[in-house]
Amino acid sequence: MSTSTFPAGRKKITTSTVRDKKIRGEIITMLTAYDYPTAAIMDRAGIDMILVGDSVGMVVLGYDTTLSVTMEDMLHHCKAVARGAKSALLIGDMPFMSYQTSVDDAVRNAGRFLQEAGMDAIKLEGGRDRKPAIEAIISAGIPVQGHLGLTPQSVHQFGGFRAQGKTVSAAKRILEDAMILQEAGCFSIVLEAIPWQLAKLISAQLEIPTIGIGAGVECDGQVLVSHDMLGLCDRFTPKFAKKFTHLQNEIETAVTNYKSDVENKIFPASSNSFKMTDEEWNSLLAAIAPKVTAHSVTRL
């Protein structure tokens, strides 16, 4: 594949690139994106992996959970991201009920992310119960990223969005699941909202990279939901999400300024307007003169 369309000096990131980064002890960066301009910005900034997360349901579509997100929603947003990002490894998040129903459904839906939406890999939530689906998807040639800990599609089973793996038995189960996902062939695993000590232990045990979100600094990489890190969410922002800017305030200021400029006829200025030549304008006036009413002549 030609590298000419990639941002200057960057090659296409693959699953091997991120595995090699772990081997070299280099930290892997990942963010979520749901649209073309944001994906293009992240690509230019050199983010390794872009996840089109089903978090789109909460931060873009306004649902309370991710459960309402459909395959069609996901493919729509994945296509936009794929148009914007040429270098980052692109991962499509499988929505609720697109892989839990049967292994056949899982493979067919995973395939749509690559075939129709330009993704390089898929992510799905869950541990040992998902092993058959993961193995079947991988044997169809589709790289899979696992997701353990606080898996938001199980929010009702957890009784809310709360940290997982805080007791010995819960931590042991997550560690075992991580080993099972590695054995099944996952190229990496997202660890969400688990104690940092457990994330450190899993990261040391696994050969594949761990990507933490609310899992401490000892993971092989980090991911955040872009709307959280950009300060774009007007609703709850999780404790583990750092706001690197406050775009919501900036957008509110811009919209307020726009409203005021429009109401005061400051916008559009002449520099934002198109002009007819005087000659064309005078000819037009002459042509319509008999039809121009007294009221409109005053306004002209």
What are the residue numbers of the active site?
A: 192
CB atoms closer than 10 angstroms to residue 210: 26
Cα distances (Å, whole numbers) of residue 278 to 183, 274, 282, 300: 76, 13, 6, 14
Strands (E), the chain: 28-32, 49-52, 89-93, 121-123, 144-149, 188-192, 210-213, 221-224
Which residues contact residue 134 at a Cβ distance below 8 angstroms, ignoring those fewer than 6 apart?
124, 144, 146, 181, 184, 185, 186
Q: Is 50 in the site for ligand KIV (CB under 6 A)?
A: no
Q: Is 191 in the site for ligand KIV (CB under 6 A)?
A: no
Q: Select from 51-59, 102-110, 247-255, 267-275 the region that touches ligand KIV (CB under 6 A).
A: 51-59
Residue choice 136, 190, 193, 230 for contact with ligand KIV (CB under 6 A) = 190
Window 231-260: contact mask with ligand KIV (x via CB under 6 A): ------------------------------
Number of residues counted as binding ligand KIV (CB under 6 A) = 12
Residue 268: cis peptide before it, omega within 30 degrees of 0: yes
Residue choice 29, 38, 55, 222 for contact with ligand KIV (CB under 6 A) = 55
Q: Is 54 in the site for ligand KIV (CB under 6 A)?
A: yes
Q: Select from 46-54, 83-91, 105-113, 281-289 the region that touches ligand KIV (CB under 6 A).
A: 46-54
CB 84 within 8 A of CB 43: yes
- Site residues for ligand KIV per CB under 6 A: 32, 51, 53-55, 93, 147, 190, 192, 213, 223, 225
